[in-house]
Structure 1
Amino acid sequence: MANRVENELTEELLPLLQEERYVTVATVDHETGGPNVNAISWVYAMDSKRIRFAVDNRSRIVENLRKQPRITLTMIGGGSTYSITGTSEVIQESMDDVPLKLALIEVAIEEVRDVMFYGSRITAEPKFEKTYDKEAADKLDKQVADAMKK
């Protein structure tokens, strides 16, 4: 997808965002007006035009998006780095069937851009591990994933 701009997720990118993945979220800070970047992993592409993600409902992300709903998600995958820009909406202040107070946010995708620098490709994608109880993490991840897909 190098040097191309799409208005939705491609067939290659869609399944990458239907599994747990390291993604960064860039918003406009509601106090300073400057950039605010956070890392998330509870993210799910509903289809090629919509991405949902979950964050603590006290997160700065939520307050930022209430004031300015424009958002950019950055994903590393498929051998490159992609900037996914759109308009967000908090669709649930507190997700049902999830023990934590998580907000569910949906992004209407407007632009997908390959932002990898010229003449290069990603050879290893970011990996992460949960540092708390594995069984509890797996249970929570399943609850959040199921709630996002509703």
Structure 2
Amino acid sequence: MSSITTTSPHTITPELPKQLLSYARAGALGIVITVGNDKYPTDAFAWVVALDDKRVRFTVDHHSKTLGNLSRDGLAAIQIIGPDNLVFLIKGVCRSVKTNLESVPMDIGLWEMDVIGARDQSWPGAAPLPLAVQWSGDERESMVKTEQAVFGEMREA
């Protein structure tokens, strides 16, 4: 398995640090980053759940470039931005776990990452706002319930 090195003052660990693990275990919104055939990065919003400090599960839309990129090389990074300056980029090797999630009425599959590194990207003297979905309108309550059901299915699959 690969390892990640850097000359940056930001720490890179071979597993999820405790504060990131605690946050992502509950379920979070993240940005999955892959590399396309054109060698440029592609990103997509995804639901993310940490199973333990070495495995992270995330959703992938069937109609996205992300699915093709993952199917081709299995490599990805996931950006997590949480509360209290919790900012991490997680890198790893990925595999498909479930073709279709049953808890959501969309064409979304479940992938799992074996973590090879988690880089602390916190900002000194400032903190970005957490990445989150703000459901609105008449479907807000229903979408919040759906999201929680998705997180549950992601943990149990």
Unaligned runs of 5+ in 1: none
Decide which structure has greater helix share.
2
Q: What TM-score do the two structures reach when normalised by structure 2?
A: 0.81
How high is the sequence identity, in percent, across the aligned residues? 24
- 1:74 to 2:102 alignment: no
Which deviates more from structure 2 when the two are superposed, residues 77-86 or residues 61-70?
Answer: 77-86
Q: What TM-score do the two structures reach when normalised by structure 1?
A: 0.84
- 1:26 to 2:15 alignment: no
- Superposed, which structure 2 residues align to 1:98-113 within 5 Å? 98-113=104-119
Q: How many residues are paired up?
A: 146
Unaligned runs of 5+ in 2: 1-8
Tell me which residue corresponds to 2:14: 7
Tell me which residue corresponds to 1:144: 150
Which deviates more from structure 2 when the two are superposed, residues 83-92 or residues 132-141?
Answer: 132-141
Inter-partner Cα distance in structure 2 for 1:125 and 1:97? 25
* Structure 1 residue 97: Cα displacement: 4.6
* 2:56–2:113 contact (8 Å) kept in structure 1: yes
* Structure 1 residue 80: Cα displacement: 4.1
Distance verdict in 2 for CA 1:75–1:97, change over 3 Å: closer
* 1:54–1:144 contact (8 Å) kept in structure 2: no
Deviating above 4 A after TM superposition, structure 1's stretches of 4 or more consecutive aligned residues are none
